[in-house]
Structure formats: structure tokens, C-alpha cells
Amino acid sequence: MIDDRPVLDDHLHLDPDHHRGIDAVRDFARVGGTHLLVVNKPSWHLGVKAETGDDFHTVFERTIEIVEEASSELEGQAWPVLGVHPGLISRLVDDRDFSPEEARDLMQAGIDVAAEYVSAGEALALKSGRPHYEVDDDVWAASNAVMRRAFEHGADLECAVQLHAEASEDMTAVADWAEDAGMPAHRVVKHYASGRLEGPTPSVMSDKDRLETAAERGEPFLMETDYIDDPDRPGAVLGPKTVPRRVRWLLENGHEEAVELAHIETPADVYGIDTEATLESEQ
Ligand SMILES: [Zn+2]
């Protein structure tokens, strides 16, 4: 550990089939990482061609299994974040002849199933969003409808919703939709964020420039690597040791408050998790 501090990677993926995933957790722990939010891989990465919402059970169950294994490697804890990758809509519409409305219905059904796991206490938060690339208007509308379904569950379940979305530093319109649904805007987390963001809470990609911006801004933020994610952007993610290494770097550069913000205060406000109490050495 780093001076008995909790160190949380807010968004990464583990491959449940090749157990490469658990090696990544060991790497993370060895350099001082203590807590992880593990997001299920996109369903098509796991060879799942969903036809109904129930087909997502396999994806979610495999994520929950590897999260249990990850927790046993950590001095802190790992939690699952479950949902439907927004890029699925293009696969359904472009490759499988779904209409945007049919794709919306299937993806909303997948979100409904993910919400059942949150309701049962088996997952911490939901994952949704919309494509980060240009799409037709009807695909965009369908994607927004899926995201708004996730916000309805976030309101009912009082859980956070992580978003995969277009690169932007102003997502107040999306945060307003969350509030319309009844969930507080700060429980919406934009993953792969830059150092500043209006609206949702930014989960900042842990490169030095972005972190410096976030630390100097002084607003709530989280840190992530997005380890093994998007097949369309190979090499666009960071390795599993990055968050602990950047925490050390922030501390060396006098950003102690930012480190507490990203690893203790923001996780508590957004997810209701206590990263200090869940550390073994604190018991
Ligand atoms: Zn990801």
C-alpha cells in the first residue's frame, strides 16, 4: 500500500476466461492499488450474441465471479459495475439487421437485468451511455433512450450510473436528464473523462496532464485506466499499474487533497462506498 491509503481504479475490465485478468489485479495490488470497480466487458467480446435481456445474465455472472476472485487478491475490495456497452447498438443495427427501436428495446432489457443485480446487492452500479462516434439520428435517439432507462433505475435503486460517451467537457444536458429521472447529477460518472467536466462526475483517464487539471480544479473526480476495453481503439487504454503510480506522483507533487478526493471522498459520495473502512490494515 501507499502510506495505508486506499487507491481505487474506477473503471477497468478483467477477462474472466483467460485469467490474464487476475494477473492484472496482482500487478495493481503489488504497486499499491487496493480497490477496483470492474466493468463487464462488452457482450460481443465474450462471444455472447444477445437476443433477449436474459442473454446478458452470462456476461454479468462471469463478471461477478472474477470480481470475487479479484477481491481476494486485494487489501481492499473490488465491486462489479454492470450494463450494456453503447457500441452494441451499431453491431445490432449494422451487422444484425435490427431497427434502432428493436436495438433500443434489447439494450433496455439488458439494463433492466443489470439493475436486478444492483437491487440484489450483487453489483454496485450500472453502466450505460451512447456511442462516442457519429451515428444516424435514429440510432442516437435510441441510444439516449437506453441511457435514460439506466437513469430511471439509478433513481429507483439510488445507485450510480457510469457512462461511456462522446469526448466532451460539458455534459450538463445529460446530467439534467438524470435529475429529471430523479437521480442526483453527481451520481452520473463519465468514464474516460478529461480533467474537467460540467455535469456528471469525471472518471479521469490517468495520464499526467488530465490528472494535473483535475487536481488543480479541486472538484470531485475519480481516477481510472479503462484497462482492456474498446476493441475499436487498441492501445487507447492504460495498464493496471497506472493508477497507483499516478497516486504516488500526485503525492510527490503536493496533491494530497486531490488524492483524498479521488480515492476517499468522491467514491463515498458517488457510490456510497467506504474505501478506508474496507482496507484490511484498518481492521
Ligand atoms: Zn471500459
- pLDDT by residue for the chain (283 residues), tens only, comes to 888 999 999 999 998 776 568 889 999 999 999 999 999 988 888 888 889 999 999 999 999 999 999 999 999 999 999 999 999 999 999 999 999 999 999 999 999 999 999 999 999 999 999 999 999 999 999 999 999 999 999 999 999 999 999 999 999 999 999 999 999 999 999 999 999 999 999 999 999 999 999 999 999 999 999 998 666 666 678 999 999 999 999 999 999 999 999 999 999 999 999 999 999 754 4
* Predicted pLDDT of residue 282: 45
In the reported structure, the alpha carbon of residue 112 is separated from the centroid of ligand 1 by a whole-number distance in angstroms of: 20
In the reported structure, the alpha carbon of residue 91 is separated from the centroid of ligand 1 by a whole-number distance in angstroms of: 17
* Predicted pLDDT of residue 283: 42
In the reported structure, the alpha carbon of residue 227 is separated from the centroid of ligand 1 by a whole-number distance in angstroms of: 7
In the reported structure, the alpha carbon of residue 278 is separated from the centroid of ligand 1 by a whole-number distance in angstroms of: 24
* Predicted pLDDT of residue 230: 64
* Predicted pLDDT of residue 228: 83
* pTM exceeds cut of 0.75: yes
In the reported structure, the alpha carbon of residue 255 is separated from the centroid of ligand 1 by a whole-number distance in angstroms of: 26
In the reported structure, the alpha carbon of residue 282 is separated from the centroid of ligand 1 by a whole-number distance in angstroms of: 30
* Predicted pLDDT of residue 17: 73
C-alpha cell at 49: 450474441
In the reported structure, the alpha carbon of residue 192 is separated from the centroid of ligand 1 by a whole-number distance in angstroms of: 8
Query: Residues within 5 Å of ion ligand 1 by Cβ?
Result: 226, 229
In the reported structure, the alpha carbon of residue 128 is separated from the centroid of ligand 1 by a whole-number distance in angstroms of: 11
Is residue 230 packed enough to be buried (19+ CB in 10 Å), middle (13-18) or exposed (0-12)? middle
* Predicted pLDDT of residue 114: 98
Residue 269 phi/psi, 5-degree rounding, is: -70, -40
In the reported structure, the alpha carbon of residue 39 is separated from the centroid of ligand 1 by a whole-number distance in angstroms of: 7
Q: What is the pLDDT of residues 228-239, one digit of tens each?
A: 866 666 667 899
In the reported structure, the alpha carbon of residue 46 is separated from the centroid of ligand 1 by a whole-number distance in angstroms of: 14
In the reported structure, the alpha carbon of residue 283 is separated from the centroid of ligand 1 by a whole-number distance in angstroms of: 32
Query: 98-129 b/e with 16+ CB inside 10 Å = b?
Result: bebeebbbbbbbbbbbbbbbbeeebbbbbbbb
In the reported structure, the alpha carbon of residue 237 is separated from the centroid of ligand 1 by a whole-number distance in angstroms of: 9
C-alpha cell at 242: 497506472
In the reported structure, the alpha carbon of residue 163 is separated from the centroid of ligand 1 by a whole-number distance in angstroms of: 10
Q: State the residue for C-alpha cell 436495438.
A: 103
Do residues 114 and 61 lie in contact, with contact meaning Cβ atoms separated by under 8 Å?
Answer: no
